[in-house]
Structure 1
Amino acid sequence: MRHTLPIAPQFYVTAPQPCPYLEGRMERKLFTALQGDGVEQLNNSLSQQGFRRSQNVLYRPSCSECSACLSARIDVAAFTATRSQKRTLKRNAHLERRATSPWATEDQFALFRSYLDSRHADGGMADMDVFEYAAMIEETPVRSRVVEYAETGTNTLAAVSLTDVLEDGLSMVYSFYAPDQPQNSLGTFMILDHIAIAREAGLPYVYLGYWVPGSQKMGYKAKFSGLEIYHRSEWKKMSDPSEFEAAGHPLSTDPIAEQVANIQLPEQPIHRKR
Structure 2
Amino acid sequence: MRHSLPTIPQFYVTAPQPCPYLDGRMERKLFTALQGEQAEAMNDTLSKQGFRRSQNVLYRPSCADCCACLSARIRVADFQPSRSQRRVLKRNSAMQRYVTSAWATEDQYDLFRRYLDSRHADGGMADMDVFEFAAMVEETPVRTRVLEYIAQDETGRRQLRAVCLSDVLDDGLSLVYSFFDPDHSALSLGSYMILDQIALARKVGLPYVYLGYWVPGSPKMDYKAKFSALEIYHDGAWRDLGDPSSHSSATHPLSVKPIAEQVASLNLPKTLSAPITPTRIIRDL
> Do Structure 1 and Structure 2 share a fold, with TM-score over 0.5?
yes
Q: Confirm whether residue 137 of structure 1 aligns to residue 137 of structure 2.
A: yes
In the alignment, which residue of structure 2 is the partner of 1:181? 184
SS in 2 for 1:100: strand
Q: How high is the TM-score relative to the length of structure 1?
A: 0.95
Distance 1:2 1:138, change over 3 A: closer
Distance 2:140 2:265 in 1: 26
Q: CA deviation at 1:249?
A: 3.1
**Equivalent residue pairs, number:** 270
Q: Tell me, what secondary structure is at the counterpart of 2:114? A: helix
Specify the alignment match of 1:268 in structure 2.
271
Shift of the alpha carbon at 1:246? 5.4
1:108 maps to: 108
Aligned-partner Cα distance in 2 for 1:110–1:259 = 40
Q: Which residue of 2 aligns with 1:44?
A: 44
Aligned to 1:232: 235
Q: Who is 1:219 aligned against?
A: 222
Residue 269 of structure 1 and its aligned partner are, at CA, apart by 6.9
The whole-number CA distance in structure 2 between the counterparts of 1:84 and 1:201 is: 25
- How far off is 1:210 after superposition? 0.3
Corresponding residue of 1:32: 32
Other structure's SS at 1:171 match: strand
Q: What RMSD in Å do the two structures reach over aligned CA positions?
A: 1.7
Residue in structure 2 matching 1:209, options 208, 212, 235: 212
The equivalent of 1:192 in structure 2 is 195
In 2, the alpha carbon distance for the partners of 1:3 and 1:148 equals 40
1:61-101 deviations in Å (ceiling 9; x for gaps): 00001010110000001100011000000111121100001
Structure 2 counterparts to residues 88-107 of structure 1, below 5 A: 88-107=88-107
Select which of 255, 258, 261 maps to 1:255: 258
**CA positional deviation for 1:5:** 5.1
Distance 1:4 1:116 in 2: 42
Change (3 A) 1:128 1:246: closer
Q: Deviations over 1:80-123 (max 9, x none)?
A: 00110000001111211000011000000000000101111111
Give the TM-score normalised by structure 2: 0.91
Structure 1 residue runs without a partner (length 5+): none
Q: What are the superposed Cα offsets for residues 16-41 of structure 1, whole Å, 9 maximum, x if unpaired?
A: 00000000000000000001221111
What is the SS of the residue equivalent to 1:181?
Answer: helix
Q: 1:200 to 1:89 in 2, by over 3 A?
A: same
2: CA distance, partners of 1:140 / 1:71: 21
Sort the Cα spacing of 1:108 and 1:142 in 2 relative to 1 into closer, same or farther, 3 A. same
Q: Is the 8 A contact 1:101 1:144 kept in 2?
A: yes
The one-letter code sitting in structure 2 at the alignment partner of 1:149 is Y
- Give the AA of the match of 2:110: A
Mapped partners of 1:144, 1:5: distance in 2: 25
Classify the secondary structure of the residue corresponding to 2:137: helix
Q: How far apart, in 1, do the equivalents of 2:2 and 2:91 lie?
A: 62
- Aligned-partner Cα distance in 2 for 1:4–1:112: 39
Distance in 2, Cα, partners of 1:257 & 1:129: 37
Alignment partner, residue 241 of structure 1: 244
Match of 1:74 in 2: 74
1:251 alignment partner, SS class: coil
Cα distance between partner residues in 1 of 2:205 and 2:73: 16
Match of 1:165 in 2: 168
What CA deviation, in whole Å up to 9, does each residue of 1:198-235 have, x standing for no partner?
00000000000000000000010000000000001100
The 1-side partners of 2:176 and 2:196 are apart by 15
- List, as ranges, runs of 4+ consecutive aligned residues in structure 1 with deviation greater than 6 Å: 1-4
Q: What amino acid is aligned across from residue 8 of structure 1 in structure 2?
A: I
Structure 2 residue 60 is matched with structure 1 residue 60: yes
Q: Per the alignment, do residues 258 and 184 of structure 1 end up closer, same or farther by CA in structure 2, a change over 3 Å counting?
A: same
Tell me the amino acid that sits aligned with residue 99 of structure 1.
V
Alpha carbons of structure 1 residues 141 and 193: separation in structure 2 relative to 1, 3 Å? same
In structure 2, the gaps of 5 or more residues are 274-285
